[in-house]
Amino acid sequence: MIEEGNKGIKRVARIIWVSSMLLLFGVTIMTRLQGQQEARKRIFKMEIRGDIDPRMNRYVDLALTQATDIDADIVIIDMDTYGGAVTDANDIRTRILEYDKPVWVFINNDAASAGALISIACDSIYMAPGSNIGAATVVTGEGEAAPDKYQSYMRSIMRSTAEENGRDPLIAEGMVDDRVEIDGITEDGKIITFTTSEAITHGYAEGEVNSVEEILAKNNIDDYEITPYTLSAVEHIIAFFLNPMVSSLLILVITGGIFFELQTPGVGFPIAAAGVALVLYLVPYYLNGLAESWEIAVFVVGIALIALEVFVIPGFGVAGILGIICTVGSLIFMMLANDLFNFDYVGSGEVVTAATVVFAGMLGSVVLLFVIGYRFTNSNMFKKVALEDTQKREEGYTSSFYSEPLIGKEGTAFTILRPSGRVEIGDTIYDAYTRGEYVEKGETIVVISQEGTSLKVRSKKE
């Protein structure tokens, strides 16, 4: 009995010992795997290849957000740009300076103007053979030097950015101002632009490399995983609707739908199509920082003025003209990176392109309405749903809805007739319309026709 008890205790002890060994082995394996994963560096790679504008501003913002989401250890920017808008470059610079992980830049040809500012904001700069950095003078959309207030601002942020990352601020200022003289680097009248070797010599680059992989090798990073930034499906759709040709087609639908709805009120489909096209036009430009809130507000005011002119104010005057100006102008401004009517950084070519897109869309809508309208009214489908026969009085047809003759009777305008409204004859209210003239409320009217569902009247003063 005692021997059997001892055997049971030994068996339990053996099971516990084996289980402990297995658990220890498992923990050791998991720890090693976790250590390997932690040792592997997550490298996030994004590209800045093109103008620095609101689109690139949004692109960098989305990229850095994704880098944070995947907990990247290092962000590397593959850069080749001639620059762009200072305001957008400053936004990108600020995000990079505030980013809590190292941001390195690989200048794969050019980092000029705004590109130089963004590069200096990075923790480390690496350059491909034959690359350049500098020439950060602020220029207008026409390529001319901008006024000194813009140069002063650029000099300031270039200096502060260089100081933040331990680079010579005077060299950064010399990339903007040709009056800066630095012995052995530049002389009066010349803007600083460094080649790869010059940038390395003067502390503006950590080394010369041919690829991102070489950058990692220089930093003794052997175990890594590179995650390139790619636009999401939504961003690709947004980019599609930013295409000038697509924008022109959307404007065609917007203007055509509004015009058709005004001509045939109550149909519903044209105004719905115009609404959808308007959303597809506004949202991409708004998300990319081009369509400002005030531009959207001006567009809404323009539509309201046109509607006011059509439905309320007689004739076509100031409200209608202002409405057209506001509508067309806002659509053009939404495509341009202007800063509240400041077009210093907008080239004339961009203005011409935007105006061409808007006017082409509007002209196309007019042509389309005439062509489609003519073809539709002569199609078999239209003949099946439209009443083409004339119901003449001589053939026995009548459209009178009144139990007693009213022609010649007098009454008063119950509402303003513009030219339609309501009139009161005796104690009865009738729908009525004039031959085109306006009749004020309370004015005496005379019935001149009673066919159809509305009376045709005229002012007794005539």
Tokens 């002119």 locate to: 309
Q: Do domains 40-230 and 393-459 have the same CATH topology?
A: no
Rounded to two decimals, what is the model's pTM? 0.62
Separation of alpha carbons 439 and 418, rounded Å: 7
The pLDDT, as a whole number, for residue 141 is: 59
Q: 């539509």: which residue's tokens?
A: 303
3-state helix, strand, coil in the chain (%, to 5): 50, 20, 30
Q: Which residues pair with 422 in a beta bridge?
A: 431
Homologous superfamily (CATH) for 40-230: 2-enoyl-CoA Hydratase; Chain A, domain 1 (3.90.226.10)
What pLDDT digit, counting tens, does each position of 194-212 carry?
999 999 999 999 999 999 9
Where the chain has pLDDT below 50, the residues are: 1, 36-37, 385-386, 396-397
Q: Which residues have C-beta within 8 Å of that of residue 367, sequence separation ≥ 6?
A: none
pLDDT of residue 274: 83
Question: Could you tell me the residue ranges of all domains in the chain?
Answer: 40-230, 234-380, 393-459
pLDDT in tens, 115-140: 999 999 999 999 999 999 998 887 76
With beta carbons less than 8 A apart as the criterion, state whether 110 and 81 touch: yes
User: Is the Cβ–Cβ distance between 374 and 416 less than 8 Å?
Assistant: no
CATH-assigned architecture of domain 393-459: Beta Barrel (2.40)
* Beta pairing partners, 246: none
Q: In this predicted structure, what is the pLDDT of residue 230? A: 85
Residue 18, C-beta contacts closer than 8 angstroms, at least 6 positions apart? none
Phi, psi of 207 (to 5 degrees): 175, 170
Average pLDDT, the chain: 80
Total count of residues recorded for the chain: 462
For residue 234, what pLDDT is reported? 77
pLDDT (0 to 100) of residue 31: 58
Q: Tell me, what's the pLDDT at 30?
A: 64
Prior bond to 405 cis, omega within 30?
no
**What whole-number distance in Å separates Cα of residue 72 and Cα of residue 241?**
31
